Amino acid sequence: MKTLGKSLILGAMLLAGVSQAQTVRINGLVELSGTGATSGTNFDNGIKLAVREINAAGGILGRKVDYVSYDTQSQPGVAKALAQKAVDENAYVVMGPVFTGSIMVSMAETRRAEIPNFTGGEGASITQQGNPYIFRTSFTQATAMPKIANYIRDAVKAKSVDVIYVNNDFGKGGLDLIKKELESRGIKVPNTISTEPGQIDFSSAVIKAKQSGSDAVFVYSNEEESARALRELRKQGYSKPIIGETVLTSQKVIELAGEAANGAVAHVGLTADAPQPLIKKFSDSFVAEYKSKSDHNGLKGYSGMYIVKAVTEKIGKFDSKAFAAAMKGISLAVKDHPGILMDVSFDANGDLDRESYMTKVENGKQVVSAILPPVNRK
């Protein structure tokens, strides 16, 4: 009986080893609850959709992807603990978090373990820490804000702009950059109006913007707060241009703000409404799978997962350190890797560059009004 027991245990261990050898572990640290639930859930669903497609096509280098996501609860401390869990579970790559405040805390753990970490966060400071293992799935604020400032100067022709921003790492980083970019183009920023995460009442903030006499307002906050700001701006009869970056014209904001979202304009790095066949195919698949339309975060997760596949196949092995090294200065073409959706390149800091869009909300829908070239297009 003892011999039989030992044989069974040995057999189970061998099967476990075979199972692990046939898969590659990727952990998701995502905001599935709390203030970031919409962003995190879309990001997670985009990853899951890509994983299903990749596994159905044979996996990565013959291995199926074992993707497991954990809820950060939109809390940096929880995100940090889950990053350590990813290390303990021998993750090859970590996806997320999306929130800047969370990734700024959690990436210390993946860096220490030398695990590549993709984030949906846009805060400029994320890639300014000298971390060779952090990579974006979206534009940094430092890439987006010059494009927005050019639009305000050339299309809006504003001479002065007020900024309503959320008082956290994300908001303060965006404020500093948009203010710098506007002022460098001769556009004044008379008022920077601080609001808090989760703030309900935006009447005071809007009164300040109305009374200033500026030519436009730039709104930079989270989804729920952006919707509240739009509703209050319309309630108080604000009729000047309302401009933002990514969040302001997102699907969630449009749903929450209703008619108040109409007319809002924003620069977005990715949108499911882009007039490109591969993005339309993704969008249709996402709706079929989840019965809801993807926002930009779904696209970030989906394309990010396909970038993991493309780079791993390029280096020809599952080696986290080699993966991170290969990411520096890499350019990937959509003709070779359709799942990445758009041609993309990465610099030495982990920031990406690719085409982007100006969008406007019309009749409750986000409409692409212009396609902007990559910043570093030769």
At 122 the pLDDT is: 87
The pLDDT profile of the chain, 378 residues, written as one tens digit per residue, is 444 455 555 444 444 444 456 999 999 999 999 989 999 999 999 999 999 999 999 999 999 999 999 999 999 999 999 999 999 999 999 999 999 999 999 999 999 999 999 999 988 899 999 999 999 999 888 889 999 999 999 999 999 999 999 999 889 999 999 999 999 999 999 999 999 999 999 999 999 999 999 999 999 999 999 999 999 999 999 999 999 999 999 989 999 999 999 999 999 999 999 999 999 999 999 999 999 999 999 999 999 999 999 999 999 999 999 999 999 999 999 999 999 999 999 999 999 999 999 999 999 999 999 898 888 764
The answer to whether residue 236 sits within a structural domain is yes
Cα 281 to chain centroid distance, Å, stands at 20
Same domain, yes or no, for 229 and 363? Answer: yes
In a domain, 11, yes or no: yes
Does one domain contain both 259 and 147? yes
**Alpha carbon 262 to chain centroid distance?**
23
Residues 6+ apart with CB under 8 A from 356: 139, 144, 147, 267, 268, 269, 270, 371, 372
* Side-chain-side CA neighbours of residue 76 (13 Å): 12
Tell me: do 61 and 130 sit in the same domain. yes
Query: Does 351 map to a domain?
Result: no
Instruction: Please check whether residues 240 and 361 belong to one and the same domain.
Output: yes
Instruction: Kindly state whether residues 7 and 109 are assigned to the same domain.
Output: yes
pLDDT of amino acid 17: 46
Domain contains 100: yes
User: Do 135 and 40 reside in the same domain of the chain?
Assistant: yes
Q: Is 378 part of a structural domain of the chain?
A: no
212-218-231 Cα angle (round to 5) = 85
Q: Check which CATH number belongs to the domain holding 238 and give it.
A: 3.40.50.2300
Q: Report if residue 261 sits inside a domain.
A: yes
Q: Which pLDDT does position 213 carry in this prediction?
A: 93
Domain shared by 249 and 186, yes or no: yes
- Residues 24, 68, single domain; the answer is yes
pLDDT of residue 12: 46
* Co-location of 134 and 146 in the same domain: no
| Total of domains in the chain | 2
Per-residue pLDDT at 375: 80
Whether residue 124 is found in the same domain as residue 21:
yes
User: How many helices (H) and strands (E) would you count in the chain?
Assistant: 12, 15
Cα 236 to chain center, whole Å?
Answer: 32
**Both 258 and 321 in a single domain?**
no
The residue range of the domain holding 322 is: 2-139+276-346
User: Would you say residue 377 lies in a domain?
Assistant: no
**Are 224 and 363 found together in one domain?**
yes
Residue 297 belongs to some domain of the structure? yes
Specify the pLDDT at position 62.
97
